[in-house]
Amino acid sequence: MAVAEPIYHPGNKNPAMTRVLHTGDTHIGYQQYHSPERRADFLAAFEQVVDDAVEMDVDAVVHAGDLFHDRRPDLPDLMGTLSALRDLNAADIPFLAVVGNHESTRGGQWLDLFERLGLATRLGDDPVAVDAVAFYGLDHVPESRRDDLDYDYTLPADSDLDTEPTHSVLVGHGLFTPFAHANWETETVLEESTVEFDAVLLGDNHAPGIERVDDVWVTYCGSTERASASEEDDRGYNVVGFDADDPGPAGVDIRRRSLSDVTREFGFVTADLEPGEGADRVREKVGQHDLDDAVVIVEITGDGEPVTPGGIESFALDNGALIARVTDRREIETETELSVSFADPDAAVDERIEEVGLSEAALDIDEAVRSPDIADSNLRETVKSRLKDQIENDPAALAPPESDDSDASESAAESDSESDDTTASDAAADAADDDADDTADTADTADGETAPDDTATADSTDDEDTTDDESTADDEGDTVEGELSTMEDFL
Q: Which of residues 312-341 bind Mn ion (CB under 5 A)?
A: none
Residue whose C-alpha is closest to residue 264's, from 321, 302, 191, 209: 321
Q: Indicate whether 70 belongs to the interface with Mn ion (CB under 5 A).
A: no
- Of the listed pieces 22-30, 114-122, 293-301, 372-380, which binds Mn ion according to CB under 5 A? 22-30
Q: How far is the CB of 411 from Mn ion (least distance, A)?
A: 9
- Of the listed pieces 63-71, 329-337, 375-383, 417-425, which binds Mn ion according to CB under 5 A? 63-71
Q: Indicate whether 66 belongs to the interface with Mn ion (CB under 5 A).
A: yes
Catalytic residue among 63, 69, 102, 140: 102
- Of the listed pieces 23-31, 141-149, 255-263, 445-453, which binds Mn ion according to CB under 5 A? 23-31
Number of amino acids touching Mn ion (CB under 5 A): 2
Q: Indicate whether 350 belongs to the interface with Mn ion (CB under 5 A).
A: no
Task: Name the residue nearer to Mn ion (CB basis): 263 or 382.
Answer: 263
Task: Name the residue nearer to Mn ion (CB basis): 206 or 257.
Answer: 206
173 is catalytic: no
Q: Indicate whether 421 belongs to the interface with Mn ion (CB under 5 A).
A: no
Q: How far is the CB of 25 from Mn ion (least distance, A)?
A: 4
Task: Name the residue nearer to Mn ion (CB basis): 25 or 243.
Answer: 25
Amino acid (1-letter code) at residue 166: T
Task: Name the residue nearer to Mn ion (CB basis): 209 or 304.
Answer: 209
Q: Which residues are 202's β-sheet partners?
A: 172, 220
Residue whose C-alpha is closest to residue 177's, from 169, 167, 186: 186
- Of the listed pieces 18-26, 33-41, 255-263, 338-346, which binds Mn ion according to CB under 5 A? 18-26
Task: Name the residue nearer to Mn ion (CB basis): 173 or 256.
Answer: 173
Contact 198, 249 (CB under 8 A): yes
Q: Indicate whether 299 belongs to the interface with Mn ion (CB under 5 A).
A: no
Q: Indicate whether 143 belongs to the interface with Mn ion (CB under 5 A).
A: no
Q: Which of residues 25-44 bind Mn ion (CB under 5 A)?
A: 25
For the chain, the C-alpha Rg in angstroms (whole number) is: 23
Catalytic residues: 102
Q: Which residues bind Mn ion (CB under 5 A)?
A: 25, 66
